[in-house]
Amino acid sequence: MAHAQRHTGPARSVEEHTAEVSGLLAPLLARPAETVPVPDALGRVVAADVVSPVDLPLFRNSQMDGFAVDAATVAAVPVTLPIVATIPAGPTRPAPHVPGTAVRIMTGAALPDGAEAVVPVEDTEVSGDTVTILRPRTAGEFVRDRGSDVASGMLLVPNGTRLEPRHVSVLAAVGLPGVPVRTRPRVAVLTTGAELVDAGSTPAPGQIFDSNGPALAASLRANGADVVSVDRSSDDPDAFRNALHRATSRAELVITSGGVSMGDFEVVKDVLSGMGGRFGKVAMQPGGPQGVAVVDGVPVLTFPGNPVSTLVSFELFVRPLLRRAAGLPAIPTETVALDHALTSIPGKRQLLRGRRTTTGVGTVAGPGSHLVAAFAWADVLIDIPADTTALTAGDRVKVWPL
Ligand code: AMP
Ligand code: MG
């Protein structure tokens, strides 16, 4: 049973595999909206144009700590005026302004009707119940008019915006309790391997730290997914099957790592082949062994276990579609000049780890798919087509920004 359905056909192209994955994940693209409280909306993508229900400022108020006056009275200075009231910020209904008087007023406090300007406290001298105005002011100075920032009905945040702190600020300022946002695709991560342990424990000989769990979860979150679980299974078929059903019970997409290549304990391939999964080689490096399945109605993508293979698989097959599903803008590929010559294996699309330079792009370390530190230094993947075997310095190459 275990090895009965091992796929041995010719390698498929990256484009063919991408097309199959895109078909499987197409249902994720029809995201409904939900309303979340504004304080919880950071990072979410708004699902409709958000307009203001109110004017901002809500009422005419002072921009400075100072004295509210009428313009005619302070046209020529110095002039000494009686201080007839004090208005702090807070709920008040100030009496109408009496020309020729001054009202002590704090920043943000409502201006009396008829007061036309605020003289900042720095430009005054107070003596008892009087204030001497030292600088002339004209109507409107240091006054914030109602609606001068936002008119009721004005567009605050356009549909499709990923909310930053400044957006949370304006939505809160107009008093909106909630904001409509795209729901995030619910994705489960399931890593496999008898050798894996968590950070914090001491690996026994033969054990390694599980990096694909955290890495896939981070990649998913960075691209708009709601990571519903990050689980791990041994290479035991029953353990994997149980973990898989746990994952499909919560997620709309499951991504597994490991257990899909040509070894003897390929639990992912063995179990999913028996459930209608399709496994085979994709003509790429890293990331060649790939599989897809549908379990409990939920699409499952199976990535190879080498950490670089796993993340490159994510970049190619999941990131573009996930970003669309989450309502995030695409990250376009770019074309830049190679800093140095390189060779590439015929028949395989290579995704080399590269780093931008002032003149173009160069590779970072070698192609080994276990080289996680080199990947961490990289900021692009250099995409070498399958039929290209040699490039010289200055040749233009396609890069995927990371
Ligand atoms: P596999 O695809 O299961 O044959 O794994 C290929 C290589 O990747 C092996 O060296 C594994 O130890 C390593 N590997 C598999 N899963 C992980 C993981 N979650 N974190 C780090 N390395 C892994
Ligand atoms: Mg393994």
Nearest CA to 394 out of 359, 343, 365 is that of 359
Q: Which ligand number lies closest to the CA of residue 311?
A: 1
Q: What CA–CA distances, in Å, run from 133 to 56, 62, 87?
A: 30, 17, 18
CA distance 255 to 184: 16
Structure tokens at 204: 């026994």
Residue 151 lies in a domain: no
CA distance 341 to 362: 9
Residues 76 and 133 in one domain: yes
Q: Which ligand number lies closest to the CA of residue 306?
A: 1
Structure tokens at 331: 């990250």
Residues 117 and 46 in one domain: no
Q: Which ligand number lies closest to the CA of residue 234?
A: 2
Q: Are the beta carbons of 50 and 160 closer than 8 angstroms?
A: no
If one counts the domains in the chain, the total is: 4
Residue 65 lies in a domain: yes
Ligand 1 within 6 A of 42 CB?
Answer: no
pLDDT for 6: 46
Ligand 1 within 6 A of 211 CB?
Answer: yes
Ligand 1 within 6 A of 305 CB?
Answer: yes
pLDDT for 1: 38
Q: What pTM does this model have? A: 0.88
Radius of gyration of the chain (CA): 32
pLDDT for 365: 79
Residues 95 and 227 in one domain: no
Name the residue of 192, 201, 257, 310 to mutate for ligand 1: max ligand atoms within 8 A of Cβ: 257
Nearest CA to 335 out of 384, 397, 394, 400 is that of 397
Torsion angle of C-alpha atoms 269, 272, 277, 32, degrees rounded to 10: -120
Ligand 1 within 6 A of 208 CB?
Answer: yes
Structure tokens at 105: 């007023």
Domain that holds residue 348: 334-401
Residues 314 and 218 in one domain: yes
Residue 4 lies in a domain: no
Residues 304 and 351 in one domain: no
Residue 207 lies in a domain: yes
Diameter over CA atoms, the chain: 99
Residues 373 and 280 in one domain: no
pLDDT for 9: 67
Ligand 1 within 6 A of 262 CB?
Answer: no
Ligand 1 within 6 A of 286 CB?
Answer: no
Residue 235 CA: nearest ligand 1 atom is 3
Distance between Cα 236 and ligand 2 center (Å): 11
Distance between Cα 233 and ligand 1 center (Å): 12
Q: Which ligand number lies closest to the CA of residue 194?
A: 2
Q: What angle do CA 171, 177, 182 make, to 5 degrees?
A: 75
DSSP at 288: -
Residues 225 and 361 in one domain: no
Residues 232 and 307 in one domain: yes
Residue labelled with tokens 């054990």:
207
Parallel/antiparallel/unpaired status of strands 117-120 and 102-105: unpaired
Residues 116 and 165 in one domain: no
Residue 154 lies in a domain: no
Residue 200 lies in a domain: yes
Q: What is the pLDDT along the chain (402 residues), one digit of tens a residue?
A: 344 444 456 899 999 999 999 999 999 998 889 999 999 999 999 999 999 999 999 999 999 999 999 999 999 999 999 999 999 999 989 999 999 999 999 999 999 999 999 999 999 999 999 999 999 999 999 999 999 999 999 999 999 999 999 999 999 999 999 999 999 999 999 999 999 999 999 999 999 999 999 999 999 999 999 999 999 999 999 999 999 999 999 999 999 999 998 888 899 999 999 999 999 999 999 999 999 999 999 999 999 999 999 999 999 999 999 999 999 999 999 999 999 999 999 999 999 999 999 999 999 977 788 889 999 999 999 999 999 999 999 999 999 999
Ligand 1 within 6 A of 261 CB?
Answer: yes
